Structure 1
Amino acid sequence: MKKFWKTKRYKQYNRRHAARQWVRALEFKNYRRRRNLIRPSLSKVRRQFRHRAISSGRREVTVEAPEVLSLVRNPEETTRFIEALRGHEKHWQPVWVELKGVKEIDYNGILVLLSVMVRFNSKKIPFNGDKPDDPVALAVINESKFFQYVYWDFNQQDRYTLEDKSSISTHAFKTVDSLLGAKLIDNASQTIWGEPRRCPDVQRVLIELMHNTNNHASIEKLGDRHWWVSVKHIEVENRVAFSFVDYGVGIFYNLRHKERHWLTSALSELVEKFTLGNDVEIFERILSGEIHRTASNKPYRGKGLPGIYEAFERNSFSNLTIVTNDVYFSTTPGESKMLDTHFRGTFVYWELSMDNWSLEKKAIS
């Protein structure tokens, strides 16, 4: 009896199999040659991250940061960058955050980036990135401890307190915390005036923003979204910068989409466009108190934004900037504008200095 491997049938199969294997080997050799032409431009960390993403069955995407990473100074490109990251987070897609091209960055840009990457971390979505090549931008981001905080083990239900002996303090929570507001103002006044002082309007602004996040950031559920507040102490200038952000639905979406029927909301928006102008003009009227409107249509509600603007006009703080939906509002004349991109949430920035109003603390006898 002939052995199987000597039969004509097996020899035919073996030739076909060998030919297929040879073709596959040539294809893999060509693929490896093309891959090696690309690989020298990638760092070892980047190659490892890409390999882990592919091994997990998900494709890694690159999101490039703008040269000026700041919602105050470069709202268009920064908003586009942040919303791209949020889109990938929504779809559970691994991202490589490319910061090497950043030439200017400030603490409000660091805050919005950190608050987004914490969501990646809490949902266990793989992410990594590089550092700015520019030495000044790198120094700013290192001072903020961003690279230290971003890899902490976060949970979506956590309260975050990210602070140390450096000049920046960042907090995140889901409910109103008046004690935190008082602490932040005490520390700020110590930097500015050399002693703890009372800044009632700043305290009210913080509480109002926390309250709005808790009640209005999510359409579906109260208290479902974190607010983030970051305080940067600039001691050499006796100045403190406050940045507040929540990633809710935004002011205009909240006003227009808590109506009972989508058609009512759409018609209201259409009427607004023709009678009140664009969203910037509508927003300015809301701040001035000319338009008094809320989702509930109750007369005792909706005083938050006008109250914040009134505090600015009383010189309680300076350089007020607000970004929400498609609106960029600045108290600097001529700076307010419509955005081409859409920011899903509300960002508020202001500064406190020696030129602003404050009250001395009375000693407790």
Structure 2
Amino acid sequence: MKKLYVTRKYRKRNQQRAQKSLKRKLQFKEYRRLKNQSEQGLSKPDLTHKRNFEDRYKDYIKIHAPSKLSFIDNASEVVTFISKLKKHYDRESKVFVVLSDVTTISYDAIVVLLSVMVRFKAKRIPFNGDFPTDKDARRILDESKFLKYLYQQFKESDRYELGQKSSIHTYAWKDVDSELGSQLIRQASKTVWGEERRCQGVQRTLIELMLNTNNHAVDSKKGEKHWWISVSHNKKDNKVGFAFIDFGVGVFTSLNNKRSDSKFYGALEKLKEKVKYGNNAELLRLILDGTLHKTATRKPYHGKGLPGINMVLERNQISNLNIITNNVHANVDADDFKIIQNSFSGTFVYWEVNQNNLSCNGINRD
């Protein structure tokens, strides 16, 4: 035996190595024991989900989506869900969206998910999620190409275009873009009527919403916020749905924050003197019928903004108009205006076009 192997220094070092090796083995054994304990009794799908998502993203903040992920049919819970995402976006926290329990998902909610995801990724904040186990919900998510974009990286940009080769088309812009509106209408009219038609009511709705995004922004943020438009084509029913969203301050917050040089400065106080209303749901009704505008300006109403969109609905150029802003959800088509439990910081508008709606078909009906 070489003298080196019997020296005191060598024996001490060898003993230290053996102790470290034993410690690692014991730690791994304990890890395996706890892992087997945590996986005991799990079905194969649950086990796969745990290993692929829960274990892999254990340092992420888990945000659970409501089982009914629909802005129109479940506004309060979806607003709470968005608020949680926004809070962690502001904190720049890693977020994992849990979609596994979602049983119903609508296209109007997908544009919200897409917009939130792009904002996280553009800011380089880690963002991920799992998939609904419900087959129908998973199919709709697949069709939207959301899962495809989940694994892409985005840069801060003035424009985004997502999903052009799917039944759902999503765009984000910072400016008014009338050409985009014309493009979306051409595509929509083919789905609804089988041919290209002019739909000035839809065009007007789009332009007013694009303008409102900038008008309702805080002065220091004008031109910085994206508006998002997602268009879903249902060729089977000859129907097209439009979902528009901006993450500004919302209609009522904007009205309360008007500067003294704005024509709407103090408009709510003037309105209260003239018309007694109880809450924001009733106020939104007064905004849509033009009462607020007439009270603030003392001039005839010319059909701009949200009242202009309401006129488009009354002319049967669009249908199923829904508006969610701050703490109000209005199904304008059904004349149902109600307060929701949680407040949405922004404005969401959804409408549809179907074969029963009027189109110009080359004739200006407006």
TM-score bracket for the superposition, by shorter chain length: 0.7 to 0.9
Relative to structure 2, which stretch is displaced further, 77-86 or 300-309?
Answer: 300-309
**Cα distance in 2, alignment partners of residues 151 and 306 from structure 1:** 40
2: CA distance between counterparts of 1:275 and 1:259?
24
Question: Is the 8 Å Cα contact of residues 164 and 170 (structure 2) preserved in structure 1?
Answer: no
**Residue segments in structure 2 that go unaligned for 5+ positions in a row:** 1-7, 9-21, 41-46
2:347 equivalent to 1:343: no
What is aligned with 1:46? 53
1:1-365 alignment runs, 5 A limit: 37-38=37-38, 43-47=50-54, 49-50=56-57, 59-259=59-259, 268=269, 275-292=276-293, 303-333=304-334, 335-361=336-362
What TM-score does the superposition give when structure 2 sets the normalisation length? 0.81
Measured in 2, the distance between the counterparts of 1:268 and 1:151 equals 49
> In terms of mean alpha carbon deviation, does 38-47 or 348-357 score higher?
38-47
TM-score by length of 1: 0.81
Say if 1:217 and 1:246, in contact at 8 Å, map to a contact too: no
For the structure 1 residues 195 and 109, does the alpha-carbon distance in structure 2 shift closer, same or farther, using more than 3 Å as the test?
A: same
Counterparts of 2:348 and 2:285, CA distance in 1: 16
Alignment RMSD? 3.3
Matches of 1:39 and 1:87 in 2, distance apart?
32
The amino acid of 2:344's aligned partner reads F
Encode CA deviations 1:210-241: one digit per residue, 9 max, x unaligned.
11112323342211100000111111111110
Distance 2:240 2:122 in 1: 30
Indicate conservation of the 8 Å contact 2:144/2:163, yes or no: no
Q: Displacement, 1:361? A: 2.6
Mapped to 1, the partners of 2:142 and 2:223 lie a distance apart of: 32
Report if aligned partners of 2:282, 2:337 keep a CA contact under 8 Å in 1. Answer: no
- SS of residue matched to 1:275: coil
Provide, for residues 300-328 of structure 1, a one-character-per-residue CA deviation record: whole Å limited to 9, x for no partner. Answer: 89931110101100101000000000000
- 8 A Cα contact 1:217 1:345, kept in partner: no
CA distance in structure 1 between the partners assigned to 2:61 and 2:236 by the alignment: 41
Give the aligned residue type for 1:333. Answer: A
Amino acid in the other structure paired with 1:60: Y
Deviations 1:137-160 (A, max 9, x none): 000100110011233321222410
Where does structure 1 lack aligned partners over 5 or more consecutive residues? 6-21, 52-58
Q: State the distance in 2 between where 1:198 and 1:159 align.
A: 25
Q: How many residues align?
A: 330
Read off the aligned partner of 1:127 and give its amino acid letter: F
Q: Residue type of the partner of 2:328?
A: V
Per the TM alignment, residue 96 of structure 1 is displaced from its structure 2 partner at its CA by 1.2
Distance 1:104 1:220 in 2: 38
